Amino acid sequence: MKKIVYLLSLLSLLSAGEITVAVAANVSYAIHTLKKAFEQQYPKTKVHIILGSSGKLTAQIRHGAPYDILLSADMKYPQVLYAEKIAITKPVVYAQGTLALLSTKQQHDTLTLSVLQHANIQKIAIANPKTAPYGIAAKEALENAQIYTKLKPKFIYGESISQTLLYTIHAADIGLVATSLLFSPKMAQYKRDIHWHEVDPIHYAPIAQGMVLLTHAKNNTEAKDFYHFMLSKEAKKILISYGYKVL
């Protein structure tokens, strides 16, 4: 009997799969809730999460990093990987991200982009437009508001949106961050309309966030399960709870 139990346990371990998901920094809080929900459905699958800027994760993938799925902060990087045949699925949008203005100090004025021109705002944190899709969106929003050039000397650049959030909290007077990062329990002390407010979407194009299944996952059933889970109603409900918009 003991031998049978041991063999069954061994078979269970052998059938358990592992996947590695490369995740854009703006999803750093939501991904843990998504991972937990997925593992409740697929308890034999172990999910490893690698966080970073979309550009750096893509560079790692192109140099052979053994990732199975990329959850990017934009569509550009997934499209590059698909064009280079490093991805085996066409990029799909799993969420749309939005920008928010965040200040750790209570603002007496409505938090709109015009606030950034106030004399008491000396340091503004934004993500680097060269490496982070949310930086591209921030630059676009400021350019469309016709204040980008004027404010540029005040910028502190984060290499990812999560680093930009840290700069906003610890080193800047205000920052342009991903709205999704503000729904973490760690950020509960900062209140909507007091410390943060979403940037009017008329100022920038929707931040369509793309997902692809990578060649490393070609024969990985568990990776395909996670890919389909990310497009499910349950995953979309979780993403909405973290401030994303879904299609």
Question: 233: which 2 tokens?
Answer: 């109603």
C-alpha 128/C-alpha 110 separation (Å) is: 25
Among 68, 62, 7, 98, smallest CA distance to 227 is for: 68
* Domain 2-96+207-241, second-level architecture: 3-Layer(aba) Sandwich (3.40)
The CATH class, in words, for 97-203 is alpha beta
**Per-domain residue ranges of the chain:** 2-96+207-241, 97-203
pTM comes to 0.82
C-alpha 208/C-alpha 110 separation (Å) is: 27
Q: Beta strand pairing status for 174-178 and 45-52?
A: unpaired
At 139, which helix (H) or strand (E)?
A: helix 133-144
Angle subtended at Cα 177 by Cα 171 and Cα 179, rounded to the nearest 5 degrees = 140
Q: What residue type is 177 in one-letter code?
A: V
Domains 2-96+207-241 and 97-203 share a fold: yes
* Tens of pLDDT, residues 142-186: 999 999 999 999 999 998 898 999 999 999 999 999 999 999 888
What pLDDT tens digit does each residue of the chain (247 aa) get? Answer: 444 434 334 333 334 589 999 999 899 999 999 999 999 999 999 999 999 888 899 999 999 999 999 999 999 999 999 999 999 999 999 999 999 999 998 665 667 899 999 999 999 999 999 878 899 999 999 999 999 999 999 999 998 898 999 999 999 999 999 999 999 888 999 999 899 999 999 999 889 999 999 999 999 999 999 999 999 999 999 999 999 999 8
Q: What is residue 191's DSSP assignment?
A: P
Dihedral angle, C-alpha 225, 231, 235, 239, nearest 10 °:
140
